C-alpha cells in the first residue's frame, strides 16, 4: 500500500514595487527570481497609488504608504520574505514592524553587500535623490561605509527607458566617482538599473553592486520568521 505524502509548500517571496509602473515590476521580478533558488516563488505587487517612478520628496513620502498598502493586499501569512523594490526603501521600518518575516529594501541590501568589500560610493538617477539618500543611508546597516553619493541628471525612469544611454552615463559616473573619491565598490542603486551592474562590470575597476539582485540574495539568507533587521551579509556575489 502506498501512503500519499503532501509535497512541501513552495517558499514565497513578496516583491513590493512602490512605484506604480507595472512594466518595472515585471523587470525587477525577473532579476529577483534569477537570483533565488529555483523552488522560490516570487509574487509581485505594484503600488496602486503614488508616482510612476519615485523621483521627488513627495513621491518618496507617498511611496511609504503605498508599500504598506501593498503589503496588506498580499496574503501575508504565507510569505517567507519581502523586498521593497525601490532604492530609497520607502516604508522599510514600518513594514518591519508589522511583517512576520524578513524584510529588506534595495538600498539596505546593496550597502550590506558593498560593505563586504570596504568603502563604497552610490550612484543613482535623479538629483532629487541626493538629499533623500543623505538622510537615509546613515540609518541603514553598511551606511557608514558610503564615501560618496553621486546622482546623474536623468532620473531612474529615464535611465530605464533608454538602457543604451544609461550604460554610457553610468560608466562616466563611475569614472567621475573614482577620480574624486577612491572606493572599494560602487552601488548602482535603483529598480530601473537592474541588470546594469553585470553589463558594465568590465568597464569599471571595482566591484559593481546591483541593488535588485543584492536584495534578493540578502533577504533569502535571513532567518525564517521574526521581525527586525537582517543579519550581516552571508553570500556576496562573485564579480568579474
Under 8 Å between Cβ of 16 and 82: yes
Q: Is residue 36 part of a domain?
A: yes
User: How many separate domains does the chain show?
Assistant: 2
Direct distance between the N- and C-terminal alpha carbons of the chain, in angstroms, rounded to an integer: 54
Q: Which domain holds residue 100?
A: 11-106+214-220
Q: Is the pTM of this model over 0.85?
A: yes
> Helices (DSSP H) in 181-225: which residue ranges?
196-200, 211-220
- 97, 52: one domain: yes
- 47, 82: one domain: yes
Cβ neighbourhood burial of 65 (10 Å; 0-12, 13-18, 19+): middle
Under 8 Å between Cβ of 215 and 14: no
Q: Is residue 74 part of a domain?
A: yes
Res. 160: pLDDT tops 50: yes
* pLDDT tens, position by position, 6-29: 545 678 999 999 999 999 999 999
- 90, 154: one domain: no
- 37, 75: one domain: yes
Res. 229: pLDDT tops 90: no
**pLDDT-based confidence at residue 142 (cuts at 50, 70, 90):** very high
Q: Which carries the bigger pLDDT value, residue 63 or residue 75? A: 63
- Taking CB atoms within 8 Å and a gap of at least 24, the contacts of 130-135 are 131/57, 132/57, 132/60, 132/88, 133/87, 133/88, 133/107, 133/189
- 90, 121: one domain: no
Q: What is the CATH number of the domain that holds 86?
A: 3.40.50.12500
Q: Is residue 230 part of a domain?
A: no
* pLDDT tens, position by position, 182-219: 999 999 999 999 999 999 999 999 999 999 999 999 98
Q: Is residue 168 part of a domain?
A: yes
Amino acid at each position: 500500500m502506498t501512503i500519499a505524502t503532501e509535497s512541501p509548500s513552495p517558499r514565497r517571496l513578496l516583491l513590493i514595487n512602490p512605484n506604480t509602473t507595472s512594466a518595472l515590476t515585471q523587470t525587477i521580478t525577473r532579476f529577483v527570481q534569477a537570483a533565488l533558488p529555483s523552488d522560490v516563488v516570487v509574487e509581485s505587487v505594484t503600488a496602486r497609488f503614488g508616482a510612476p517612478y519615485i523621483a521627488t520628496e513627495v513621491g518618496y513620502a507617498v511611496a511609504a504608504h503605498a508599500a504598506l498598502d501593498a503589503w496588506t493586499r498580499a496574503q501575508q501569512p504565507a510569505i517567507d520574505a519581502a523586498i521593497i523594490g525601490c532604492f530609497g526603501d520607502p516604508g522599510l521600518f514600518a513594514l518591519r514592524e508589522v511583517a512576520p518575516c524578513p524584510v529588506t529594501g534595495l538600498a539596505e541590501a546593496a550597502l550590506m553587500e558593498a560593505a563586504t568589500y570596504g568603502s563604497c560610493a552610490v550612484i543613482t538617477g535623479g538629483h532629487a535623490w541626493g538629499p533623500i539618500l543623505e538622510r537615509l543611508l546613515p540609518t541603514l546597516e553598511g551606511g557608514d561605509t558610503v564615501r560618496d553619493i553621486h546622482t546623474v541628471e536623468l532620473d531612474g525612469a529615464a535611465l530605464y527607458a533608454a538602457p543604451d544611454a544609461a550604460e554610457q552615463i553610468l560608466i562616466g559616473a563611475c569614472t567621475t566617482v573614482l577620480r574624486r573619491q577612491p572606493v572599494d565598490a560602487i552601488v548602482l542603486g535603483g529598480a530601473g538599473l537592474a541588470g546594469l551592474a553585470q553589463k558594465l562590470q568590465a568597464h569599471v575597476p571595482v566591484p559593481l553592486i546591483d541593488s535588485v539582485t543584492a536584495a534578493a540574495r540578502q533577504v533569502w539568507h535571513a532567518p525564517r520568521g521574526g521581525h527586525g533587521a537582517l543579519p550581516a551579509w552571508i553570500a556576496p556575489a562573485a564579480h568579474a
